[in-house]
Structure 1
Amino acid sequence: MKIVHISTYDILGGAARAAYRLHSGLKGQGYSSQMVVRKKQSSDPDVIGVTPLDTGQENERELFCYAAIQDRYINANRTKLSNTIFSLPYPGYDLSKLPEVIGADVLNLHWVAYYQSPFTITALLRLGKPVVWTLHDQWAFTGGCHYTAGCESYISDCSDCPQLASDPYSLPAGVLKDKIELFSGLSLTVVSPSRWLAECVKNSALFGRMRVAVIPNGVETDIFRPISKMRAKKLLGLPPDTMTVLFGAEYGSERRKGFKELAAAIGHCLSDPWFEAKAREDKVRILCFGQPDERIDSIKIPVISLGYLKSDQKVREAYNAADVFIQSSLEDNLPNTVLEAMSCGTPVIGFDVGGIPDMVQDGSEGRIIPAGDTVGMANAIIGLLSSPNLLVEMGQKSRSRTERFFSLGNQARNYSDLYLELRGEAKAFSKAGPQTKGKIRLKPGEPGKRFSPSVPLITQGGSDFSTVFDRVLLRTLKDLSPKLQRELDELNADRELRLDLINKQGKEIERLQAETDKWLKECDLLWAKVNTGEGER
């Protein structure tokens, strides 16, 4: 069975890492698995990075328009409700004629923002193959937001978007309506890593009638494994009796990651006499990896920022150096960091949101706290740090639960069972072939191997989005025109300076050339005199 995974990235970011782990797990089970991505960063030969075909002037104009709308109508128009990514689903890379895709038995979509559009996804659905879409956030069934921040308009029509300060043309509503129209009547199976996201999918206007399966993500239990905490702390330069609390996030400034709540919880900890005494004795450290929020200095406990850890070994050492891992997210799916910490035998404290309760059972592998309850989180931190035996017991249970439910082998087997079932259904009910246009262009590579194939870039938008496109673009360009004029003026001023410099350099060259000519003439005269003198002699 040949499986092709379609993802914007292969290993950059949590969603990509989860997709790559599934790809690796399937290969470990003996299946043929490939990834087709927009941005390849790994050296895996089974990962194929694609590039767009050379675009003409018309496509360049369309791409500029989409970029302008994304930048001005969306990015510069956000409310304070959320600062999580909100993205247009256009344009898209048409993969429907790619040989790897045509030869696949099953297609598995993952996080495909800035890579796939409703049109290009529809082309894949029309290939007559089983198509699975593993969701890593809520973007697939909304009008553009990747996390809804509590909004439930995706259940109906995504109107009155609370994440946009101004939306006079109902852009998210138009995007969602296009998705509904384009996907109507086509077969798609949605996989959610968490029960929470699965319920959102079932309630959504887009996917409510489609099949939804819950298959948790997996983690490399052979890589993320327990080592001696004393040794791990020593590797970080910490005394073995130091109490350590670890947290991490790709972007700590993202509001839904809950850094504000984490800082508040640490502040409440310092109100406890036992914890405050330990902190005064310099026995407490906060560890963090990733890009922390700029307010990290407000935490009144020494913080060791590990930055971006570039190897699994360093990540494993960080988890093992921690007595407890904090997951303070206010919105999340099934965070990789929780699985990695548990696999390393480190208990987890997290809020009761998303898929966190799917991994951590309260009182067994850690503590689950009501969302936003910073006092409750502080009490949980103090309760675990003050009970070394309980930490050891919870750590052992965390490792055991990860091996039992969240290994790559378990994940791969669950997916392969689903693939095999869907293949049987697809053979019985075949669909029409693809209806997109364009040819695949291959760049030269090694003989017999594919290298960065180029595919058509589809800039076409859906009918509902197209009806508001021109109005949205007009407003966007109107807002953007002062900035463009300033940049043009700066370019013109810079051009004039460059021309003036070129003129001065030209005159200097002419002067030097004249001096050179004069010097050469003098040399000729001297040479003539030398020759005359030689003749007379």
Structure 2
Amino acid sequence: MPQPCSVRTAATSCGRCVHTTGWSGLIPGIQRSCYDRRGRWRVNITLVSTFDLNGGAAQAAHRLHRALRGRGIASQMLVNRRDSDDPDVVRVVPTSAEDTAMWAARYAAIRAEEDVYPVLKAHRFSPFHGERAPSAAQWLDRLQTADVINLHWVRGFVDWEAFFPSQPAIRPVVWTLHDLNPFTGGCHYAGGCTGFIDSCGRCPVLDSDAGDDLSAQVLHRKRAVLARSQMPLHIVAPSRWIAKEAQRSSLFATQPLEVIPNSLDLDRFRPFDREAARAELGLPPGSIIMLFVAHLLDDRRKGLHRLAAALRLLGPVPGLEVVAVGMGTPAFDAPVPLTVRPFQASGACIAHLYAAADLVVVPSDQDNLPNTVLEALACGRPVVAFPVGGVPDMICDGETGLLAHGFSDADLSEALVRALQARPRWPALGEAGRRQVERENAPEVQARRYIALFERVIRDAAG
């Protein structure tokens, strides 16, 4: 049985007994205790994410939500777009003509601010987003039953000015970082830019030479909002890399931070028979299949063009072909056949594609803790990747996969050569990868780590 919660309340000081009036009673309208008399945790967790399945960050958030539910935790997700049939995922949309008009007006104002920059005007799915959102404060009443709010990837959904100052000092906010956007002036990945360490400006993503450009304004506004906010903010970094970046930033440098890796469903993503998977998917049984997975295949950050360049350097390899899973019809200039399969966030198809592959290649230029790497390792497939972001957290070179020894196309090509030469060791590499994710990325492991964090931030907030 869990130990009684040590949170102090205005009503009781319990010693060794279970609270009859716990932390939740401190917020009007919430009358639950941390643990009931049977030792069950009675704290409400609300995860906030723009999406629930659309994209890697959304899938990671939903996996955490399911992991918490699997431990009996009262978890719900609030999203702007709902693609799952999960009854505990609630879509927040305008409910009246007045709200709809307000959302539209705010969206137009946000676009007008961004459209000053041609690069943003030309690309609606741009790598830059500010801190404002069309929804403003219209849905914040849905958070009143939450004991802890867990933010995830919230671009275009959570408006900083409306959200942060509205949260009481006794309701902790935990922000799980899926990219750098929460602590930059708007970019999701900074490349070689270090502007977020100080004040942004002269933003390469905006193609701007102005010191007071939109990136500087956004970072200034974010800093001002947090200065006025009372609620405790705690940061969760899924990788050591993004933890270090957050600690270097001017915005989050002083915030408490903890590294908790993402999880995945180890029953869905598990080793399958390779030949059976290929027969099911209509893939040739004798080929060497390299798998590439990205939500958008033409997303240059994900690096399909880098894989093509590396394969050109590698030259012809008998029987080698690439299967790319994702949306779009990418250019692929390489002496290797390319097959494109549509991306499916749900269903068993993606797991069977991993099973059908010999190697999974992740040539991202920047990434946090890519789901593709976790999924491949869980399916017992070796991964070849650049040593960027959180990838080295998951791949031990020569043990669970192969890391390039640099960041050039030639370095990736050399890693592919080593991977092909290691063919007799592919089964051992795959088994080692599976053991690693069972140890570090099982849902129950992630849920246990988050529950411990939630208990601690509740205790700290209550004083």
Superposition TM-score tier, normalisation by shorter sequence: 0.7 to 0.9
Question: In 2 relative to 1, CA 91–102 (structure 1 residues): closer, same or farther, beyond 3 Å?
Answer: same
Indicate the residue corresponding to 1:387 in structure 2. 422
TM-score, with structure 1 as normaliser = 0.73
Structure with the larger helix share: 1
Q: Give runs of aligned pairs for residues 367-516 of structure 1, distance below 5 A.
A: 367-428=402-463
Question: In 2 relative to 1, CA 36–310 (structure 1 residues): closer, same or farther, beyond 3 Å?
Answer: closer
Shift of 1:175: 1.1
Matched, 1:289 2:325: yes
Question: In 2 relative to 1, CA 103–18 (structure 1 residues): closer, same or farther, beyond 3 Å?
Answer: same
Please say if residues 143 and 176 of structure 1, whose CA atoms lie closer than 8 Å, have aligned partners that are also in contact.
Answer: yes
1:72-100 Cα deviation digits (max 9, x unpaired): 43644689xxx952112213535697554
Q: Determine helix, strand or coil for the equivalent of 1:294.
A: coil
Question: In 2 relative to 1, CA 294–58 (structure 1 residues): closer, same or farther, beyond 3 Å?
Answer: closer
Letter in 1 for 2:202: D
Matched, 1:51 2:117: no
Indicate the residue corresponding to 1:174 in structure 2. 217
Indicate the residue corresponding to 1:128 in structure 2. 170
Indicate the residue corresponding to 2:337 in structure 1. 302
Please say if residues 23 and 33 of structure 1, whose CA atoms lie closer than 8 Å, have aligned partners that are also in contact.
Answer: yes
Please say if residues 120 and 126 of structure 2, whose CA atoms lie closer than 8 Å, have aligned partners that are also in contact.
Answer: no
CA distance in 2, matches of 1:158, 1:329: 24
Indicate the residue corresponding to 2:395 in structure 1. 360
Matched, 1:232 2:273: no
Indicate the residue corresponding to 1:34 in structure 2. 76
Q: Determine helix, strand or coil for the equivalent of 1:248.
A: strand
Length, aligned pairs only: 415
Please say if residues 95 and 120 of structure 1, whose CA atoms lie closer than 8 Å, have aligned partners that are also in contact.
Answer: yes
Question: In 2 relative to 1, CA 387–208 (structure 1 residues): closer, same or farther, beyond 3 Å?
Answer: closer
Aligned with residue 105 of structure 1, among 140, 147, 161: 147
1:7-43 Cα deviation digits (max 9, x unpaired): 1111111111000000000000110100011111211
Q: Root-mean-square deviation (CA), in Å?
A: 2.2
Q: Determine helix, strand or coil for the equivalent of 2:331.
A: helix
CA distance in 2, matches of 1:60, 1:152: 34
Q: Give runs of aligned pairs for residues 71-150 of structure 1, distance below 5 A.
A: 71-73=115-117, 75-76=119-120, 85-94=127-136, 98=140, 100-126=142-168, 128-150=170-192
Q: Determine helix, strand or coil for the equivalent of 1:35.
A: strand
Q: Determine helix, strand or coil for the equivalent of 1:411.
A: helix
Indicate the residue corresponding to 2:382 in structure 1. 347
Q: Determine helix, strand or coil for the equivalent of 1:93.
A: coil
Letter in 2 for 1:318: L
Q: Determine helix, strand or coil for the equivalent of 1:34.
A: strand
Q: Determine helix, strand or coil for the equivalent of 1:15.
A: helix
Matched, 1:337 2:379: no
Question: In 2 relative to 1, CA 330–219 (structure 1 residues): closer, same or farther, beyond 3 Å?
Answer: same
TM-score, with structure 2 as normaliser = 0.84
Letter in 2 for 1:172: S
Please say if residues 105 and 130 of structure 1, whose CA atoms lie closer than 8 Å, have aligned partners that are also in contact.
Answer: yes
Q: Determine helix, strand or coil for the equivalent of 2:296.
A: coil
Please say if residues 120 and 128 of structure 2, whose CA atoms lie closer than 8 Å, have aligned partners that are also in contact.
Answer: no
Stretches of structure 2 that go unaligned for 5 or more consecutive residues are 1-42
Q: Percent identity?
A: 36
Please say if residues 134 and 191 of structure 1, whose CA atoms lie closer than 8 Å, have aligned partners that are also in contact.
Answer: yes
Aligned with residue 317 of structure 1, among 337, 341, 352: 352
Letter in 2 for 1:258: G
Stretches of structure 1 that go unaligned for 5 or more consecutive residues are 271-275, 429-537
1:496-524 Cα deviation digits (max 9, x unpaired): xxxxxxxxxxxxxxxxxxxxxxxxxxxxx
CA distance in 1, matches of 2:366, 2:340: 24
Indicate the residue corresponding to 1:64 in structure 2. 108
Tell me which structure has the larger Cα radius of gyration: 1
Please say if residues 385 and 391 of structure 1, whose CA atoms lie closer than 8 Å, have aligned partners that are also in contact.
Answer: no
CA distance in 2, matches of 1:58, 1:313: 40
CA distance in 2, matches of 1:382, 1:58: 56
Question: In 2 relative to 1, CA 212–368 (structure 1 residues): closer, same or farther, beyond 3 Å?
Answer: same
Question: In 2 relative to 1, CA 239–151 (structure 1 residues): closer, same or farther, beyond 3 Å?
Answer: same
Please say if residues 53 and 345 of structure 2, whose CA atoms lie closer than 8 Å, have aligned partners that are also in contact.
Answer: no
Q: Give runs of aligned pairs for residues 157-306 of structure 1, distance below 5 A.
A: 157-166=199-208, 168=210, 169-184=212-227, 186=230, 187-270=232-315, 276=316, 278-279=317-318, 283-291=319-327, 294-296=330-332, 298-306=333-341
Question: In 2 relative to 1, CA 96–176 (structure 1 residues): closer, same or farther, beyond 3 Å?
Answer: same
Shift of 1:44: 1.2
CA distance in 1, matches of 2:136, 2:106: 16
Letter in 1 for 2:300: R
Higher mean displacement: 205-214 or 60-69: 60-69
Shift of 1:113: 0.4
